[in-house]
Amino acid sequence: MKWIDMHCDTLSEIIRQRKELKRNDLCADLERLLRGGAGAQFFACFVNAARYGLNTKDADEKMIWDQAYWNVLSMIGRAKREQNERFEIAVEPEMIQRQLWAETDESEILYGILTVEEGGVLNGRMERLGELYDRGVRLMTLTWNYTNCIGSPNSRNPAVMEKGLTEFGINVIEQMNDKGMIIDVSHLSDGGFWDCIRYSRAPIAASHSNARMLCRHPRNLTDEMLRALGEKGGVAGVNFYSPFLREKGRAQLSDLVLHIRHMVNCAGEDAVALGSDFDGFDPADCPEGAGSVLDVGKVFSSLKKNGFTQRQIEKIARDNVRRLIEDTW
């Protein structure tokens, strides 16, 4: 069964570690994605502005965000250079539709969907959103772990967590709706989340976030947020990072099943997908037995053993994301 994963950090990691996207020793590469049955993979162009000096004394924030933006453009270029007869960047819904409705489950081609994980790279310049779209970006995670021109990140500080979007951030939401880009609220403050629910005319995504009721981490979504996301037609991708799945210790496949069940109960079976976050953290923090893209099928087997129907599993595996793409792009 073909599947779609809404988030991995493999693209930024191969550049940082000087590896190849086609074949590497990380959690994901093109060869294993194809062998593992992936139909499409969202590849994040992730930048950590702290690596460029953000939040340090006398930091030139404008220059730092500009440098981060140039690095995103470099990642986009790298992904495009990796294209071949079996890997193509998807920019139209029809490309995903053709892939998922193919008769064979053995993927002959993998579609990559480019995303930006850190909306701060816009640096207050709306024209950059158009530049990113024109280069193939179809989803943007509005914040990472730092306050930026769009809004504030999730935080254990209630004052930060309550902050909403900036005026520029609200305009970004409108422009993303107009262009047909998916608004991603993973990493965003709770206040920012509710602003996205309020201002977006299109469904939104939490590309790699879990249930806060089961694991009390601020990166996860409350039951109220999950319900609102589902009511708006959005999708949440379950994250494989152990500290987002359980309070202590390494997660098991059973923890993924528990979060998926809870998210389905709150948001509905049309609102849950995969958002592994592979290569965004130490592989030792993957659930035991689910350390690479070759193990994604084990999640579906576990869901089946725990009473999920084939229809529900196919929605979680691919159909919910396909529908989100159709509704937004």
83-106 pLDDT, tens digit each: 999 999 999 999 998 777 664 555
Q: Quote the pLDDT of residue 99.
A: 77
Could you please report the per-residue DSSP string of 180-248? T-EEE-TTB-HHHHHHHHHH-SS--EETT--BTTTS--TTSBPHHHHHHHHHTT-EEEEP--HHHH-SS
Q: pLDDT per residue over 163-191, tens digit each?
A: 999 999 999 999 999 999 999 999 999 99
104 SS3 class:
coil
Mean of all residue pLDDT scores within the chain:
96
Q: pLDDT confidence of 305, banded at 50, 70, 90?
A: very high
pLDDT digits (tens, 9 = 90+) for 21-69: 999 999 999 999 999 999 999 999 999 999 989 888 888 999 999 999 9
The residue-averaged pLDDT of 204-221 equals: 98
- CB contact burial 239-253 (16+ within 10 A = b; e otherwise): bbbbbbbbeeeebbb
Rounded Cα distance, 223 and 226, in Å: 5
- DSSP states of 167-183: HHHHHHHHHHHHHT-EE
Query: What are the residues whose beta carbons fall under 8 Å from the beta carbon of 47, sequence distance 6 or more?
Result: 12, 68, 71, 72, 117, 118, 121, 144
The more confident residue out of 103 and 319 is 319
Hunting for tokens 């087997």 — which residue is that? 301
- Say what the pLDDT of residue 102 is: 61
Say what the pTM is: 0.96
